[in-house]
Structure 1
Amino acid sequence: MLHLSDQKHTQPHILERYSAVRNLGNRSHYKVLNRIILALFIIGIIVLFLPWTQNISGSGAVTALKPNQRPQTINTVIAGKIEKWYVQEGDLVKKGDTIIFLSEVKEEYFDPNLLQNTKNQVDAKKMALGAYGDKVKALNSQITALERERSLKHQQAENKIKQSFLKIKSDSMDFEAVKTQVKIAATQSERSIQLQKEGLKPLTDVEEKRLKLQDAQAKLITQENKLLTSRNELINAKLEFDRLSAEYEEKISKSSSDKYTAMSSQFDAEAQLSKLENQYANYSIRNGMYYITAPQDGYVNRALQSGLGETVKEGVPIVSIMPAVYELAVETYVSPIDLTLLKKGEKIRVWFDGWPTIVFSGWPDMSYGTFGGRIVAIENFISPNGKYRVLIAPDKDEDPWPKQLSMGSGAETIALLETVPIWFEIWRTLNGFPPNYYQSEKPVTAKK
């Protein structure tokens, strides 16, 4: 120091000149205070080594465990106009009870006999489909009859061809026989002429032999004509066989064409019938959508649409319903840094808003008014509030949750982790470290 000032520091023995200062050390309660401070210091040191349960805190609300037990809104399926209300807010409704009645607002559904008219169209198309089926059956029968007739005609033509062939063979044999007779008659005529020249035969015998020769030649010509006629009949029979084949092929082809035309009409009628039946089913279902009913037992919370004659569109919410039977659960939100420390099935301590509670987060056994729970689901995507959602169900091994809890009431949660000394927890908190990752001890298997 520079010691710029000439004044010296006050020495301690200077204060002892005053009686007030000398009496301070003689008072007994200051000695007690010193002992108390020393005891508190020792107790503080001991407290630092007491066990502390690390935990993850979260806040949320009471909800239902199953999705179908949570509050829901009932929406309109079709556009319509509100005609009548059957309930009011706070009413208990059973499954299937009518809530509201809507009337039609689209012009294509204004016809009051629309369903019956569509049903008549379906019946008419069924009759047309049956008529096409009968026509196909009749054409099948006609084709079968033509094929049978063609077979018989073919047999008849084949028989005629065989007859013509046999007749040709018979006429050929007769023709050959007549040719032989002509040769014999010619030989006899030449012999008679030679003998008549020699004077051994009279002229009358020669003329007789010449007459026989001419008669044989005439028979030869006649028999040749018969043979040619038989051959011509064979050709005609073959031509008739081919003509019958072509004729019946044409008839069968025409019947088959008519059959396929009828089948095409039948398939088209089936498509139109399916379309009409689909349309009829849609109209029937739409008629049932004019009355909006309760999907399950519950209480009418709030009417989201009001008045009469008001037009609503498809998918517009009409009323909100709270299910009458539900299982309580708590949805809480934890920070992303704590998400990896939670596992499905872990125990959670829960306390509810409005319920008398004394909570010691580090000493759960000393807490009062908390209830046990277990993690049943952990959301894998972050929520809009920047935290992860965790669903907690009541722990069956502990006391049941209060029946007076209402859906949506606030809740606080504590997830219990590893037990550490208090000094470690203070040190961890001051340094901003996360809690220790707790893992249940498992038997370690010896490696081979």
Structure 2
Amino acid sequence: MALQVFTAVTGAGWESELVGALDRDAHGVTVVRRCVDVAELLAAAATGTGQAALLSAELRRLDGEAVSRLHAAGVAVVGLVEPGDELAVQRLRQLGVAQVLPADADPEVIAAALREAVAGVPDAGRDVADPRAALPAPAEPEPALARPGGRGRVVAVWGPTGAPGRTTVAVGLADEAARLDVATLLVDADVYGGVVAQVLGLLDESPGLAGAARLAGTGMLDAAALTRLAWAVRPGLRVLTGLARADRWPELRPSAVGTVLEEARRLADLTVVDCAFNVEDDEELSFDTAAPRRNGATLAALEQADTVLCVTGADPVALQRCVRALDQLREALPDVEPVLVVNQLRRGPVPGDPREEVAAALDRFTGRRPRSFLPADRRATDAALATGRTLAEVAPGSPLRAELRALAADLAGVRAPAAGRRRLRDRRAG
């Protein structure tokens, strides 16, 4: 049976000749529709009448979201570029097109590439209307904690609603990792109310993650562009600020966020992502295949992360929310295994030893024991927030800071210095 193919190479002088050559029986390829733009191509893909799409790099309005939608519809993609145009090759590959050929390639070679691309498309197991179908394919996991072969690690800081301290943990981990001489990038990906810029005293008008996502969507993001968009807060620490207004969430398409995180792996040894709480599907939007998904950015970050930290408070209400949030995460992303971090641990909200009581409750209701306990230190966190500085700057001896430093060292795969050496180093840095 002939391979059913869509083409979207309009505007190229060689289109008609190529389509005619591909339609020959000897190639085993049938062009079922010649599309004039991305909108028509996506509409044709949604019909299920084609198995592959052949598109040119110059196709107007082609972006990473469009390629993700084609993959979600089960349509393999092969790109064509003008001979010798390496920038176009790089752009298409950044958009998610693995197979890219010169436009003057032999028709038999193009047909073989189409068949190979179709054979390599896995069964997604998700309907095209499922918001998770638009997520980029996760990168292969790296077994080692240290950065192997130029690829850094991504840690997503997530947790239930109710302000359990996700941003405090994310900022603290990033700052402590940088102070351990680990090149670190902090990303504010909270689509409901990112405040990393305010916590660190930065201007929230900078494009930050939204600007990086726009470049990623057009295939123009590279390490140099990402470096320009990220604030250099201190040596070894850069910050990609979040949305200045929550209603700008459609700018963070999941495929673009995935591309930003992949580029971040090349820029930094450790990337810490401050995520929003919500991983639910929007039932009203789930029947609209073209609508953006507000929680898509969160799902993309969680799915691509090497480690997902679930931050929970230590009081009964926070623990109940954590149990429910973990159930929702299991339904949305069953392959993600979160690591529990208990924040704001203190005596009072639970009877007895708070560490033992909280650990026992989480083990009973979630089957997981916390990896880290972060003590409540309201005086230190208030001082940091009031001055737009980090815990290491305002309260270097804080027990909360010590636990964050130990966790950061563990995640980055480095050894934390002894307490005495740390205080001496911090005084010298100050």
Normalising by the smaller structure, the TM-score range is under 0.3
Structure with more of its chain in helix, by fraction = 1
Q: Give the TM-score normalised by the residue count of structure 2.
A: 0.19
The structure that has the greater radius of gyration is 1
Q: Give the TM-score, by structure 1 length.
A: 0.19
Relative contact order higher in (CA < 8 Å, ≥ 6 apart):
1
